[in-house]
Amino acid sequence: MKKMRQDEIFADIKAVFPEIQEEAGSGAAVIPKDLLLKVARYLRGEPLAFDNLHCVTAIDRKEKIEMVYILYSVSKRRALTLKIYLSPEDLNIASLASVWRSADWLERETYDMFGVVFSGHPDMRRILNPYDWKGYPLRKDYTHPEFIPKPRL
Amino acid sequence: MNMSQTKDIRTEEFLINMGPQHPSTHGVLFLEVKLDGEIVVDCTTHIGYLHRSMEKIAENRTYTQFIPFTDRIDYVASMNNNLGYVTAVEKLMNLEVPERAKYIRVIVAELNRIASHLIGIGTFAQDLGAFATPLFYCFREREKIIDIFDRICGNRLTYNYMRIGGVQFDLPKGIDETIKQFIAYMRPKLDDYDTLLTYNAIFLARSKGIGVLPKSLAIDYSVSGPNLRASGVRWDIRKEEPYLVYEKMEFDIPVGVNGDAWDRYKVRIEEMRQSLRIVEQALGALPEGDPTVKAGRIQKIAPGEAYMRTENPRGELGFYIVSDGSTYPYRLKIRAPSFSNLALLPELVKGLKVADIICVLGSLDILMGEIDR
């Protein structure tokens, strides 16, 4: 099956949501935070049919936290990466668990590791760390008495 | 006794804890199961008992130093994990690997896939009460693969064999004969499994129609690997986004029909046959040359990010690596296939009997080391 090119997918989304920007380098679609649910529902439906939310994660860039969503379409054979820039002061974002069910655990892991709170998530608990754990381990400013960074080469 | 009194008697819902220390949970998995008699009403999964914070560790290791950690993500398929990681780093670096290294990687990855599936089906049969015999048969075959790996890289479980830019050692002399002997040995063994286990009446009764996973639900939960294919989705990264030399290899993607526990088992058996085909072809076409580029021990990678997914025995293993230009990954995300495959367990077991939880769990072939990382 012929794959839809990345720029064709972009052109399609941009026609509906002109606010979406393409990130230089990674080629990800950067979307405004409040549009997330709308964009997600649009991508899920026809004609784009992104039926598989493959991976959700975050990157702590210190001045901002980047949310990363990797989407695939199994039926149409195509891929797309979404990004959202969050300010570290406001880590609230809409949950996609109502759109893709795989978002449930993937968002829980992101909450556990980065402290991003997903509003509308059915079960917002920690998942890998103990339920009473303090702090968010994958944040760059995280410290723990037993965690000693190795000297850099 | 007055019969009118009995209608007030009802059964209470009953909560049992299965795990975290339980022989059938394939590691330290804790299931909180709510029962009505013997029927499962609800199931809550608690994970994280094996959490080793690999992603945090990665930020404090150089790219090469992290390779031994990938062995321990999915410790029964270390070669495939090595492969997933080094190809992701190579994608980030835009590094082309020598042809010989690609073929060697394909050979060891497919052999490891067979070894991993053997554990998968062996423990599955064990879970269903086929006590010890199938598991021992599977381990007997797996032992031969481990002996091959022992000769190739000196290790039996955590191989640490792949390097950024190639593999650690070239294949030892005479190993191709040993692998060919293994292929000739393994093919009839797979037919044996079919006659002993696959169409065994008790085995069929325990696994047919249990834990049916419909196609749409599987995709919605981002299930991957044999579990997804058992639901009838013809989807394999080796075909969809071919890496290494998979596009030159001739093999089929086995798919299931009903998406039940038996289909998931059957797909694994068929995949082993296909893997043998791939190993045979790769051995035949193995080019001469140096199996590694001299990339240096410490890589400084230009700022950027890359996501690479490979077809692991358990599904799609993804590495998302962000570089800030230093010798250490700025962020490394491991997308583990079993994590998504386990997420739907409560969905599958609702309405089944207690013993069927074990059946469904065994057929999903999860591995806790990978889920908790």
What is the ipTM metric for this complex? 0.87
> Does the structure show a pLDDT above 60 at A3?
no
With cut-offs at 50, 70 and 90, classify the pLDDT of residue B321. very high
- Our CA-based measurement puts residue A16 at a distance from the nearest CA of chain B, in whole angstroms, of 24
Q: Say which of B51, B62, B222 has its CB closest to residue A53.
A: B222
Res A1: pLDDT? 35
Separation CA A37–CA B106 (nearest Å): 41
Q: What is the 3-state secondary structure (H, E, C) of A44-86?
A: HCCCCCCCEEEEEEEEECCCCEEEEEEEEECCCCEEEEEEEEE
* Closest chain A residue to the Cα of B329, Cα to Cα: A59
Q: Is the minimum CB–CB distance between A150 and chain B shorter than 8 Å?
A: yes
Q: Is A96 helix (H, G, I), strand (E, B) or coil?
A: coil
SS3 A29: strand
Distance CA B293, CA B295 (A): 6
Cβ-based contacts under 8 A for chains A and B: 84
Q: Please state, for a pLDDT cut of 90, what percent of chain B lies above it.
A: 31
Q: Do B318 and A54 touch (CB under 8 A)?
A: yes
Q: Smallest CA–CA separation between B145 and chain A, in Å? A: 32
What is the pLDDT at residue B146? 92
List B311's β-bridge partners, or say none: B316
Nearest CA of chain B to the CA of A36: how many Å?
18
Interface test with B, best of A55, A67, A75, A109 (most B CBs within 10 A): A55
Of B235, B331, B335, the CB nearest to A55: B335
Identify the pLDDT of residue B296: 64
Kindly report, residue by residue over B21-75, the tens digit of the pLDDT: 777 767 788 889 998 888 898 889 998 888 988 888 888 888 888 999 999 888 8
| Mean pLDDT on A11-16 | 78
Contacts of A59 in chain B (CB under 8 A): 322, 330-331
Q: Is the pLDDT of residue B299 over 90?
A: no
The answer to whether residue A21 neighbours chain B at the CB level (below 8 Å) is no
Q: Which of B222, B253, B328, B335 to mutate to test the interface with A (most CBs of A within 10 A)?
A: B222
For residue B320, which residues of chain A lie inside 8 Å, CB to CB?
55, 57, 68, 70
> Under an 8 A CB cutoff, do A57 and B320 touch?
yes
A57 at the B interface (CB within 8 A)? yes
Determine the residue of chain A that is closest to B51 in CA distance: A128
Angle between helices B99-127 and B133-153 (to 10 degrees): 160
pLDDT digits (tens, 9 = 90+) for B110-125: 999 999 999 999 989 8
Pick among A1, A52, A116 to test the B interface (most B CBs inside 10 A)? A52
Mean pLDDT in chain B?
88
